[in-house]
Chain A
């Protein structure tokens, strides 16, 4: 009986982990950068603020014309979660495919970085976690700008 119960709960856990493997977790894995960023609630909050701001500001909004902002937000949270040990699987396109044809300038790129910085600060994300995330995202510039 005990064996069977253990087996069925293991199976249940497996099903749960398979079903939600791609979605941002309710509880961030302990010690992960994702947890230090504040997990899904805070990452979602600073991603939402970042996208809402850059999509409205005329200095950064040209590439967001007619774009579904919710889709961008969902994909960005998922990608950050996947890159920071949050346990997500990123299901979106490559950064190069996402940005190709949008002719994003250096100024637009750094404009978004600035807004992201502010948005993380507004969520009281610790400085070390903010810097670690920016360090992970920085190399993406070559797949974002001037394509």
Chain B
């Protein structure tokens, strides 16, 4: 058994795979089969498995570079504070009208703005009063188990404890409809294909 396991590990290494036990990888595609980058996935436990809360003062950052939000899509656990560092040397005036968090913050070059706490779950759409075309999507979720897809359209949630979960996937840049499905996770790494269809 040990030998077989070793072989599998070697094979995975040779294939460039780095998935560890319990890693859950979602392949995100559109209806035409094209991989979806910048899509988000998160799972919530259906059984009473206790999900760890966000550590106090959990921090993330959404920058402003060349009059764009970077990254354009983010996902964080509720209770996270977001820093808006503004790498541009001009000002921005960012806002959200989303119910999960309504705020405005002015960002001046060379002056650090106070971080904004996102303590309620929901999708927050960010804009800039001065630069209309700037947009970012921030998913605030009540779970520590989330991931965002890379250019290859895969998103991996690391070290997910075995159990029954509800999986949500969404791709705001492509304006596709969010989907939900049930997944069963065991100790081994697992993969799942999720296809997002055109939005309502």
List A residues at the B interface (Cβ < 8 Å): 65-68, 71, 93, 97-98, 100-102
Contacts and interface: CB of A to CB of B under 8 A. Distances in A.
10 contacts: A66-B131, A68-B130, A71-B129, A71-B130, A71-B132, A97-B108, A100-B89, A100-B108, A100-B109, A101-B88
Nearest to A98: B91
B133 interface: yes
Interface residues of B, number: 14
Contacts of A67: 130-131
Nearest to B131: A66
B186 to A, nearest CB: 49
Interface of B: 67, 88-91, 106, 108-109, 129-134
Given A68-B132, A71-B129, A101-B89, 6 more contacts: A66-B131, A71-B130, A71-B132, A98-B91, A101-B109, A102-B90
Contacts of A97: 91, 108
B182 to A, nearest CB: 43
A67 B134 CA distance: 10
A98 B90 CA distance: 8
Nearest to B90: A101
A82 B108 CA distance: 24
A123 B134 CA distance: 34
Contacts of A101: 88-91, 109
A68 B131 contact: yes
B34 to A, nearest CB: 28
Contacts of B106: 93
B120 to A, nearest CB: 28
A23 B106 CA distance: 21
Contacts of B109: 100-101
Given A100-B108, A101-B109, A66 B133 contact: yes
Contact of B91 (A65, A66, A68, A100): A100
Given A97-B108, A100-B108, A68 B89 contact: no
A46 B51 CA distance: 60
Q: Which 4 pairs of residues, A with B, have the shortest CB-CB distance?
A: A101-B89, A101-B90, A68-B132, A66-B67
Nearest to A100: B109
A93 B129 CA distance: 12
A75 to B, nearest CB: 10
A100 B90 contact: yes
A93 B105 CA distance: 13
Most buried by A among B67, B89, B130: B130
A93 B91 contact: yes
Contacts of B67: 65-66
A67 B131 CA distance: 5
A66 B132 CA distance: 7
Nearest to B133: A66
